[in-house]
Structure formats: structure tokens, C-alpha cells
């Protein structure tokens, strides 16, 4: 699929915002479900990109920065794989291949993240000198420069993929042998399953398990639309909140240890 000039500019803008949000984490443009959806929206390939974003989101939920260990770059993986999916012109059939391509891109993005964070270390020293001089204006300017560097970190690879064009990308995808595309599809499905497992491992307790079971059962009913499933989910959440309000005890010791550590902390607080 060929993109016009306006679409190319909008895709690069989305990539730039996704890169900045990887640090700001305010509007969540770096989250796969949002980044892929926006790229699908501006390119006219909303449904395939939305499916791709939802699948990558379940994987990225298990990614987290722990100490000095930096998680794979979800922003680069989302933007680059969505662009490849759009340029490849395979539609929903190319989603699994795009997922398989996204994982190596996420790991490769760590190199760009390391380079940019190393450069921003120098920016911090410049801002320290500006603080000693009492120049708040200079501090603000260098802060914006440092944030823009994070956006450029994603915008440049996006621009390079767009510069390659739809023809070479489509030819490369079509030239892949069946064993490779099937392997990427299987691998992508396995990675998504691992993402589900990691999320369940973090969230599962005796209060949440029934909702998981009901959700998976309802998902198999083909006559229900996404709006209907969303309405059922909201209804179950309201029922849960109502029952939670009626349960418990006036004794704090008896109300503790419900199986939801975060909920216990919030209730006690």
C-alpha cells in the first residue's frame, strides 16, 4: 500500500509522539494499542492495526523496567510493525507476521534507548550549569530538547521504513517462504500467550479468577459484539463493586488478607 505525503507526515508525527510518551508516560501514545491504532487510523488500515496493537499490548503488559534492566522498546516495536503491516498490504492476514517481526524490533530498540539516554546525560549537566546561573529559560529549552530526542529516536526508524516504500516491503514479505511465515505466526501466537500468562500471574487471585473464566466463556459466543461484551464487562464490574461494599467486617484485622494485596492496602489506608 502506497501512502501519500499527508499520511507519511501523520505517521511520523505519531512515531514522534510515541517516542516522547515512552518517557513522559502521560497520554500513553507509546502503548501498542494506541500507537498501532493511530497509525491504522491515518493510513486507512484501522482494523488490522487495531488487532496488531491489541495483541502487542498483551505482550507489553509483562514488560517493565526493573532496576538497571530496561524493558524492550514497546514504542518502536508498535510503530515499526504497524508501518510494515500497512506497507505490506496483507491486511489482517499479515498481523501474525507483524507480531513476529515486532519482538526483534523491540529488543533492537534497546540500543537506540541506550544511545539517547547516554546523550541526555550530557544534557543533564548542561541543565545543572543553567541552574547554577539561575537561567530557568535555558533549563526549559534543554528539557524540551531532551524530550524531543526521545521522539526522534522513534521517528527516524519510522521515516527509514517509509523511505523504503511499499514495493520493497511488500516484495520482501511475499518472498518469505511458507515455513518462515508459518513460524512467525506460531511464534507470535506463543508470545501473545506468554503475555496473557504473565498478566494473569500478576493479577490472578480468588476474587479475579471468576471474571477471567466468564470472560473467556463469553468470548466464544460469536453472536455477541464488542459493545455487548463491553456492556457485560461493565455490569460484572458494578456487581463486583456492589458485593465488595456489602462484604467485609468492621474489624480491620478480619477484613485484611482478602487475596487482593493492593485492595487491602487501599482499604486500610
Higher-confidence residue of 71 and 185: namely 71
Residue 26 lies in a domain: yes
pLDDT at 164: 85
Give the mean pLDDT of the chain. 80
Cβ-contact 115, 123 below 8 angstroms = no
Task: Tell how far CA 171 is from the center of its chain.
Answer: 28
Per-residue pLDDT tens over the stretch 86-120: 988 878 888 888 887 887 777 777 788 888 888 88
- Longest Cα–Cα distance of the chain, Å, equals 68
Higher-confidence residue of 155 and 72: namely 155
Higher-confidence residue of 40 and 197: namely 40
Evaluate if residue 74 carries a pLDDT over 80. yes
Could you tell me if 129 and 66 lie in one domain? yes
Cβ-contact 93, 176 below 8 angstroms = no
Where a domain ends, among 159, 176, 193?
A: 176
Range of the domain at 63: 5-176
Average pLDDT over residues 78-90: 88
Could you tell me if 160 and 78 lie in one domain? yes
Contacts 24+ apart (CB under 8 A), 149-152: 149/116, 149/119, 149/120, 149/123, 150/19, 150/20, 150/22, 150/23, 150/116, 151/15, 151/16, 151/17, 151/18, 151/19, 151/20, 152/16, 152/19
Residue 230 lies in a domain: yes
Higher-confidence residue of 93 and 137: namely 137
pLDDT at 112: 83
Share of the chain above pLDDT 70, in %: 77
Residue 192 lies in a domain: no
Could you tell me if 30 and 146 lie in one domain? yes
Indicate the number of domains in the chain: 2
Evaluate if residue 83 carries a pLDDT over 80. yes
Average pLDDT over residues 244-257: 53
Residue 199 lies in a domain: no
Could you tell me if 254 and 150 lie in one domain? no
Indicate the pLDDT class of residue 228, thresholds 50, 70 and 90: confident
pLDDT at 203: 67
Residue 85 lies in a domain: yes
Which residue is associated with the grid cell 546561573?
Answer: 133
Higher-confidence residue of 50 and 169: namely 50
| pTM, full prediction | 0.66
The span from the CA of 103 to the CA of 23, in Å, is 20
Could you tell me if 15 and 125 lie in one domain? yes
Residue 83 lies in a domain: yes
pLDDT at 254: 47
Per-residue pLDDT tens over the stretch 180-225: 767 766 665 666 666 667 667 766 677 777 777 787 777 777 777 8
Average pLDDT over residues 240-248: 68
Amino acid at each position: 500500500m502506497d501512502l501519500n505525503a499527508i499520511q507519511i507526515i501523520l505517521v511520523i508525527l505519531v512515531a514522534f509522539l510515541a517516542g516522547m510518551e515512552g518517557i513522559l508516560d502521560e497520554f500513553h501514545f507509546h502503548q501498542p494499542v494506541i500507537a498501532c491504532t493511530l497509525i491504522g487510523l491515518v493510513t486507512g488500515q484501522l482494523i488490522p492495526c487495531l488487532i496488531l496493537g491489541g495483541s502487542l499490548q498483551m505482550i507489553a503488559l509483562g514488560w517493565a523496567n526493573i532496576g538497571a534492566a530496561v524493558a524492550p522498546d514497546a514504542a518502536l516495536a508498535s510503530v515499526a510493525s504497524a508501518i510494515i503491516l500497512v506497507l505490506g498490504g496483507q491486511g489482517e492476514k499479515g498481523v501474525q507476521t507483524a507480531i513476529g517481526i515486532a519482538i526483534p524490533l523491540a529488543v533492537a530498540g534497546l540500543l537506540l534507548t541506550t544511545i539517547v539516554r547516554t546523550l541526555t546525560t550530557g544534557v543533564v549537566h548542561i541543565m545543572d550549569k543553567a541552574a547554577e546561573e539561575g537561567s530557568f529559560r535555558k533549563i526549559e529549552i534543554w528539557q524540551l530538547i531532551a524530550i524531543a530526542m526521545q521522539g526522534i529516536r522513534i521517528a527516524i526508524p519510522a521515516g527509514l521504513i517509509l523511505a523504503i516504500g511499499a514495493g520493497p516491503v511488500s516484495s520482501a514479505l511475499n518472498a518469505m517462504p511458507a515455513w518462515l511465515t508459518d513460524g512467525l505466526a506460531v511464534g507470535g501466537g506463543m508470545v501473545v500467550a506468554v503475555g496473557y500468562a504473565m498478566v494473569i500471574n500478576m493479577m490472578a487471585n480468588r476474587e479475579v479468577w471468576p471474571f477471567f473464566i466468564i470472560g473467556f466463556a463469553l468470548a466464544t459466543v460469536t453472536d455477541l459484539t464488542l459493545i455487548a461484551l463491553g456492556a457485560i464487562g461493565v455490569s460484572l464490574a458494578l456487581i463486583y463493586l456492589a458485593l465488595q461494599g456489602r462484604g467485609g467486617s468492621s474489624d480491620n484485622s478480619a477484613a485484611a488478607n482478602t487475596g487482593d494485596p493492593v485492595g487491602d492496602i487501599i482499604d486500610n489506608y
